Each structure stands twice: as C-alpha cells, then as structure tokens.
Amino acid sequence: MNSNICIITGATDGIGKTTAVELAEKGFILGLVGRDRGKGKKVVKEISNLTGNNAIHYFNADLSLMSENKRISLEIKNKFPVIDILINNVGAAFFKKTFTEEGFETTFALNHLSYFLFTKLLLKNLNKQCSRIVNVASDAHFGAKLDFSDIQGVKSYEGYPNYKKSKLMNILFSYELADRLKNTSTTVNCLHPGFVSSKFGHNNSGLKVILLRIAQKLQAINVKDGAKTSVYLASSTDIDVISGKYFYKKKVKESSPESNDIDSRKRLWDITEKLLEDLS
Ligand SMILES: NC(=O)c1ccc[n+]([C@@H]2O[C@H](COP(=O)([O-])OP(=O)(O)OC[C@H]3O[C@@H](n4cnc5c(N)ncnc54)[C@H](OP(=O)(O)O)[C@@H]3O)[C@@H](O)[C@H]2O)c1
C-alpha cells in the first residue's frame, strides 16, 4: 500500500512502542500518543536513533478522558490532515473499581470509550483512497458477556472480568464499524497480540500482580513477537481489502459467539453514542 501516516495510541511502552519501532523501520511517518510527555519525547528519540527515521511525532493525552481524546484529535488533525492508518492500542486492566473525573468507570473509559471516540473524531481525516483502522483486542474476550443494564460494571465490578468485557467491546466495535464503512475504502480489523511480556497489569498491586509478573516471565512472548500482528494489519498488502475480521498470529481467527452477535454490536454502539452525547 502507498499509505504512510500512522497514528498509534499507547505507544510509549509495550506492544504499542514496539509496533512503532517496526513501522518506523518500514519508513512510516508516525504520530505516537502517550500520557507522559517526558517518556514520550524519550521514546521518539530512541526510535529515531534506532531506525534512522526522523518523521516521528509525539502527542500527549490521558486517553481515559474524553475531553483529552477531543483535544488531542484536533492537534493530530492539524498536524496530519490526512491519516492512512489508525492503531487503537492503548489499554489497561484496573483490578479495583475507579472512576475518571468525567464519571466513567476507568477500564470502560480507556479500553472502549477511547477507541470509539478517538476513531470517530479522526474518521473524516482518514485517507479516502485507502486507509486502515486496527484495534488491539484480546483473546481475553472469550467467555465475556455484556450486561447492557450495567454496561460499565458500576454495580458488579470485578477487575479481570471487566477487562474481558472491554476487550469484547473492542471486537463488537470493530465489526460494527467495519460494517458501517463497508462502502468506503477504509478497512477495520482487530487482533489478539498473544500473551505478551509487557508492563500490562503492573499499574495494580497485590498478589494478583505478583502472579501475573511470574506468568509473564515464564509463559509470555516478547513484545517484538507481540507486535507482529499489529504491524501486519497496518502494513501488509495481504489485507488491503479485508475488513471486519479478528486476527491472531497474522491469520484470521474466529472470535467468540458473543462478539458475533449483531444485536449486541448495535446496542453497544447506541449506548456508547448516548453516553458520549450526554457528556458534551
Ligand atoms: N500484554 C498482553 O499480554 C496483552 C494481551 C492481549 C491484549 N493486550 C492489549 O494490548 C494493548 C497494549 O498493551 P501492552 O501489553 O502493551 O500494555 P503496556 O505495556 O501497559 O502499555 C500500555 C501503553 O498504553 C499507555 N497508556 C496507559 N494508560 C494510558 C492513558 N490513560 N492515556 C494514554 N496512554 C496510556 C502506556 O503509557 P505509559 O508508558 O505511560 O505507561 C503504554 O504506552 C492493550 O490494549 C491490551 O489490552 C495485551
């Protein structure tokens, strides 16, 4: 593909950062979004030094806040009026129930609302000739079911189960968006990166994190391998016209029955739009 401008969220560490390194090596112009300006600047320097690519730009925003998604999308559009690839990669698990200052449960806000709003805000600026949206989901979605009467899990919050639900939302969102964009030249795909030895989960404390760190050391793949499917979906000509699919190890994989439920896709879309409308 001729595309060359790629925006990556959650790009200062883990899978997002390694995806950035790999795409920088391929000569893409990158817009990296992170929440720590100092770290972001260091990452840009590091990737430039490593790859010799100087077309790497940093945008600072706390993506769990919708106001920040709005602000940063404007900055990005000013810098890049036409975007070829958007990789929604940011994500975290919060073992304790917390709320953002905008009143949303934090897992739901960061892992789902941000993907939804950020994408919608950048949609008009995606290249009309050919563009891609890549959403980093997870096999953690298997077994998750949404409760539409308590979509954020306010009444029944449990850390990992709510993370699983947020990753199911990533897939429902990807499939619904792919369907809505089917008559355009923008494709939408999502993926499971594998169990990756990143900083994922380290924002929590207690026994669960100790066990997670041990499992990451013993069983997880490295971030370079974890970034492979994101890089593939962003850059390979193999999937120029493939849209609305879930990938693992660069291959289409069947996602859960719940993620294929068309009614759930539409209900999630409507609820999300309503929540965001109520905010503004
Ligand atoms: N690791 C796995 O085994 C695994 C498996 C399946 C799916 N995934 C998915 O892969 C994606 C990336 O995860 P990872 O493993 O690379 O995690 P990670 O190592 O924790 O990296 C997360 C990245 O997101 C950034 N970030 C976190 N909160 C943010 C916020 N509020 N605003 C802006 N940026 C924020 C982090 O910034 P800082 O650098 O400041 O921390 C970091 O750059 C997530 O969507 C996750 O659900 C991971």
Q: Look up residue 27 and give its two tokens.
A: 């000569």
Active site residue 163: yes
Superfamily per CATH, domain 5-194+227-279: NAD(P)-binding Rossmann-like Domain (3.40.50.720)
Q: Look up residue 262 and give its two tokens.
A: 């068309």
> Residue 1 has what pLDDT?
45
Residue ranges of the chain with per-residue pLDDT less than 50: 1-3
Marked catalytic residue, from 163, 175, 232, 246? 163
Q: What is the dihedral of CA 280, 185, 173, 62, to 10 degrees?
A: -50
Ligand 1: atom nearest CA of 90 is 24
90 C-alpha to center of ligand 1: Å?
Answer: 5
Tell me the pTM: 0.97
Q: Which of 132, 165, 151 is nearest to 245 (CA)?
A: 132
Helix/strand/coil for 57: strand
> Residue 156 has what pLDDT?
87
> Residue 278 has what pLDDT?
83
Contact 87, 9 (CB under 8 A): yes
> Residue 279 has what pLDDT?
81
Alpha carbons 163 and 139: distance in angstroms, whole number: 11
33 C-alpha to center of ligand 1: Å?
Answer: 11
CA-nearest residue for atom 47, ligand 1, is: 91
**Residues flanking ligand 1, CB < 6 Å:** 10-16, 34-36, 39, 62-64, 89-92, 110, 136, 138, 192-193, 195-196, 198-200
Q: Where are the alpha helices (DSSP H) in the chain?
A: 14-25, 37-51, 66-79, 106-107, 114-122, 159-180, 207-219, 223-226, 228-235, 262-279
**Is 217 exposed, middle or buried (CB count within 10 Å of its CB: 0-12, 13-18, 19+)?**
exposed
* 181, 188, 190, 192, 243 from 184: Cα distances, Å: 5, 11, 18, 25, 11
Q: Which of 178, 186, 168 is nearest to 261 (CA)?
A: 168
Ligand 1: atom nearest CA of 137 is 7
* 66, 222, 236 from 171: Cα distances, Å: 20, 24, 21
20 C-alpha to center of ligand 1: Å?
Answer: 13
> Residue 7 has what pLDDT?
98
Ligand 1: atom nearest CA of 136 is 45
Q: Which of 11, 5, 1 is nearest to 198 (CA)?
A: 11
